[in-house]
Amino acid sequence: MKQFKCGDVVLGCEWVARNDDEGVLFQEIQSHARDTHGMDEVPPEVVEQIQRVITEV
Ligand SMILES: [Zn+2]
How far, in Å, is the centroid of ligand 1 from the Cα of 45? 16
How far, in Å, is the centroid of ligand 1 from the Cα of 21? 19
Report the 10 Å Cβ neighbour count for 4.
23
Q: What is the pLDDT of residue 10?
A: 94
d(CA 18, CA 52): 15
d(CA 16, CA 44): 20
Task: Name the DSSP letter for residue 10.
Answer: S
How far, in Å, is the centroid of ligand 1 from the Cα of 13? 5
Q: What is the pLDDT of residues 44-53, one digit of tens each?
A: 999 999 999 9
17 Rama class: left (phi>0) / alpha (psi -120 to 50) / beta: beta
Q: What is the pLDDT of residue 14?
A: 98
Q: What is the pLDDT of residue 21?
A: 97
d(CA 44, CA 18): 21
Q: Mean pLDDT in the chain? A: 96
How far, in Å, is the centroid of ligand 1 from the Cα of 46? 12
Name residue 4's beta-bridge partners.
Answer: 17
Q: What is the pLDDT of residues 7-31, one digit of tens each?
A: 999 999 999 999 999 999 999 999 9
